[in-house]
C-alpha cells in the first residue's frame, strides 16, 4: 500500500508541458487549445499533440500525434494557410506558430 501511495503522489506532482496556442468557440462554448506535448525530430520538425480545454467543464480533448515542419510550414505534410477557409483548418496557423516558437 505504501509504494502505491508514493507512486500516486509522484504521478500527480509530475509536471506536464502545456503551451497556449489559441482559443475558440464551439456551439457557444469557449475553449482553449494548448500544445500538450512536443518532441524535436531534428531539421525543424516537431512531433506534437494538442489538448483542448473547454470552459463548461467537459472532459479535455487530446488530438492524435502530428508532425510539424517549421521550414515548410506544414502539419502532417499539408501546407498550413495563414487564414483558414474551412473549419478543419481552424487554429492550424496558431498551432504551427506555437510549435515552432513563433508568436
Band the pLDDT of 87: cuts 50, 70, 90. low
Per-residue pLDDT of 5-18, as tens digits, reads 344 333 333 335 57
Q: Give the residue carrying C-alpha cell 496557423.
A: 93
Pseudo-torsion of CA 36, 40, 13, 61, nearest 10°?
Answer: 20
Cα–Cα–Cα angle for 28, 30, 36, nearest 5°? Answer: 145
- CA-to-CA dists, residue 8 to 3, 13, 14, 37, angstroms: 9, 9, 10, 21
Per-residue pLDDT of 23-75, as tens digits, reads 988 888 899 999 999 999 999 999 999 999 999 988 999 999 999 999 999 99
Does pTM surpass 0.85? no
pLDDT of 25 reads 87
The two counts, helices (H) then strands (E), for the chain are: 2, 7
Amino acid at each position: 500500500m505504501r509504494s502505491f501511495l508514493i507512486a500516486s503522489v509522484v504521478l500527480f506532482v509530475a509536471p506536464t508541458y502545456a503551451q497556449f496556442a489559441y482559443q475558440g468557440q464551439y456551439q457557444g462554448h469557449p475553449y482553449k487549445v494548448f500544445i500538450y506535448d512536443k518532441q524535436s525530430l531534428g531539421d525543424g520538425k516537431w512531433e506534437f499533440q494538442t489538448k483542448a480545454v473547454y470552459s463548461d467543464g467537459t472532459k479535455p480533448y487530446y488530438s492524435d500525434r502530428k508532425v510539424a515542419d517549421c521550414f515548410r510550414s506544414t502539419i502532417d505534410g499539408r501546407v498550413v494557410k495563414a487564414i483558414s477557409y474551412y473549419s478543419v483548418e481552424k487554429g492550424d496557423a496558431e498551432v504551427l506558430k506555437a510549435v515552432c516558437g513563433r508568436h
